[in-house]
Amino acid sequence: MKIGVLVSEGPYTHQAVDSAYNFVKAALAAGHEVPRVFFYHDGVNVSTRLSVPPQDERNIQENWTSLAKEHGVDLVVCIAAAQRRGILDKNEAERQGKDADNIAEGFRISGLGQLIEMGIQTDRLVTFGD
């Protein structure tokens, strides 16, 4: 079964991000395909490479980056939500006249069309957050 995942709550403030991560890991382990996870609203905050959680806590961004590397999951960050929260890739930083980017490895910025496409191309769309 192909499963698409939508995450719309931020890391460290809501269980949705951890639940989505554990769900994706379990789905992949069970033999399902998870071609894409779309991060929307505050969920885009998962993608910043500048978060520095305490050493004794999980690093949510690194967990997602590792999962994407290991399983080839496409981690897409909504461009409008990302820009509002100061999350930029190199191209967007240059386009907006900013002097730095902060998107983590394994994540990419794109539009809502990627969410629509995911909904069309998967058998199920599972959402985490409001």
Reported as a single tens digit per residue, the pLDDT across 3-16 is 999 999 999 889 99
- Give the span between the Cα atoms of 121 and 19, in whole angstroms: 23
Q: Which domains are assigned to the chain? A: 3-128 (3.40.1260.10)
Reported as a single tens digit per residue, the pLDDT across 90-107 is 999 999 999 999 999 999
Residues annotated as catalytic (active site), given as ranges: 78
* φ, ψ of residue 62 in degrees (nearest 5): -65, -35
Q: Which are the contacts of 29, defined by CB distance < 8 A and separation ≥ 6?
A: none
Confidence of residue 17 (pLDDT cuts 50, 70, 90): very high
Confidence of residue 115 (pLDDT cuts 50, 70, 90): very high
SS3 68: helix
Q: Is the pTM of this model over 0.75?
A: yes
Q: Which of 65, 89, 73 is nearest to 33 (CA)?
A: 73
